[in-house]
Amino acid sequence: MDMANETILLVDDEEEIIAFIQDALELEGYRVLTAGNGRDALIQSQQQPSLIILDVMMPEMNGIEVCEQLRETTQCPIVFLSACQSEVDRIRGLAAGGDDYLLKPFSLAELKARIHAHLRREQRIHMQKEQSVLRFPSLTIDCKGHTVNCNGHNIALTNKEYRIVELLAMHQGQVFSREQIYEKLWGFDAEGDDSTITEHIKKIRAKLAAHAQDRTYIQTVWGIGYKWDSK
């Protein structure tokens, strides 16, 4: 992976942590943008970073609020850094649109490994988009033709059902809440209830199960939402 092409936005209100992580990442070849508060983070995000490292506990605008606003305009991986260790805090971070949650104090080696893993996954997604076909065990998705084939059978999905499948499959392993899926498909100003996502996913699962009984593809992450897992 060529780190020179990857930009990381680092957001934390502690200057010492900013300096510590920035130096380490720049030595790895990353370009690092920094922000000391949530509002500056939203401004810096306009430079389209490849990944965002986001502190949770910040004055005025906390990391959860920042993440929710970032998700209106960016799809890049967001890794939370937080001293908040409860399960509820981790669930809140993931439900807000975070992809990962690392506790303070943290291992720099682990942080770098997670960054590398997320960026590697994003590269695979971009390559799949360019190829226009997503391939999984027993299942292929033609992004140009908007079709899904499972074990040789074309699956008759509605437009909304197909878009849910494509969204989750494009971000394999990333958890999306019902609210996030609803907003991406219907828009923020749409009138309706995000509970409709549950019904759509039930129908998708039933259609896929008819031809691939041994695989679920769309997994429920209890208390958070759904993710694509073809294993």
82 has which bridge partners?
Answer: 103
pLDDT tens sequence across 116-133: 999 988 887 777 666 688
Residue 37 has pLDDT above 80, yes or no: yes
CA distance 105 to 11: 16
CA distance 226 to 46: 28
Mark out the alpha helices in the chain (DSSP H runs): 15-27, 38-44, 63-70, 87-95, 108-131, 159-170, 178-186, 196-209
CA distance 175 to 173: 6
pLDDT tens sequence across 176-211: 999 889 888 876 544 556 788 999 999 999 999 999
CA distances from 47 to 23, 40, 140 (A): 20, 12, 33
CA distance 165 to 218: 8
CA distance 22 to 100: 19
CA distance 166 to 147: 10
Residue 33 has pLDDT above 70, yes or no: yes
CA distance 123 to 49: 14
Calculate helix-pair angle for 63-70, 87-95, nearest 10 degrees. 20
pLDDT at res. 195: 80
pLDDT tens sequence across 72-90: 888 889 999 988 778 888 8
Neighbours of 42 (CB within 10 A): 18
Whether 42 contacts 65, CB under 8 Å: no
> Three-class SS of residue 140?
strand
Whether 161 contacts 211, CB under 8 Å: no
pLDDT tens sequence across 91-106: 888 888 888 899 888 8
